[in-house]
Homo-oligomer: A and B are copies of this chain.
């Protein structure tokens, strides 16, 4: 299959929707990004790679970083992780984020903010040099040495992050968090601030698609069963309020970020990353979801 041609065709098909949605603007750094960008890259387990448009432009991966954090936490804690965070979908956020996200101090899953904050705390406790170690893992799994945090974004998010600060205080009140609140928040926002391109993300997620290949990067070692667990969580919890809709439209496990990126995998076949900053009402990239929907339709690779 000519993947480059396929991606080009997809891009042409979705162009009519290019002005739909608007980018995140709750912090200045995200608001400054040119919203009219699009990139897409696919890696197959057979070594094929196709990349189009701004596939090499880096953007803020935001919540996609939670997948990397989960990989590290699973490697460190194993099944003991599930005593501190659940693994079931969180349901529509019909009420307050704060209340719903934390039940008796246990967030519902690792991909809601409360769950990711608990993972930040775990990494702070167990890593020798948390910021450096996390970055090193992301670099190794992506095969790129130049990936960096964007400290400006991290600091800017902290300044507006009252809801996350409420969550971390509530977790601390319940005894779920061990480390200093500001350290936890800073590290959480720092992980979210990593900037990667579609090509780098797609490369990095290939290892989640291929659980027959040994997972061992920068000391983060996962069994095939643990990778399967991560895919299951991406499937049921990867898209907040739109997990069911994404499941139907695209039919692949994946994770989105408020920076406009989406990564998805078709187990034992490929990983794909797409990026476009304009978001729909649920916070997912408009062009990103449309591109993935076409991809799975054209290649008949929906898991359903």
Which A residues are closer than 8 A to B by beta carbons?
Answer: 86-92, 94-96, 98-100, 103, 108-109, 162-163, 165-167, 169-170, 172-173, 181, 211, 228-229, 231-233, 235-237, 241-245, 247-248, 251, 253, 267, 302-304
Contacts and interface: CB of A to CB of B under 8 A. Distances in A.
B244 A304 contact: no
Given A89-B89, A232-B251, A244 B162 contact: no
Contact of A88 (B162, B169, B243): B243
B88 A241 contact: yes
Contacts of A251: 228, 232
Nearest to A304: B231
Nearest to A88: B244
12 contacts: A88-B242, A89-B236, A94-B103, A96-B98, A162-B181, A163-B173, A211-B304, A228-B248, A232-B244, A235-B235, A253-B304, A303-B303
A175 to B, nearest CB: 9
A157 B163 CA distance: 22
Nearest to A162: B173
Contact of A228 (B99, B245, B302): B302
A267 B89 contact: no
A162 B166 contact: no
A302 B108 CA distance: 24
B236 A243 contact: yes
A232 B304 CA distance: 7
Given A89-B244, A92-B103, A235-B235, 5 more contacts: A89-B91, A91-B100, A162-B173, A232-B247, A236-B243
Contacts of A99: 95-96, 98-99
Contacts of A162: 169-170, 172-173, 181
A81 to B, nearest CB: 13
Nearest to A167: B166
A166 B165 CA distance: 7
Contacts of A245: 87-88
Contacts of A235: 235-236, 247, 303-304
Contact of A98 (B170, B244, B302): B170
A244 B304 CA distance: 17
Nearest to A237: B244
B228 A304 contact: yes
Contacts of A211: 304
A165 to B, nearest CB: 4
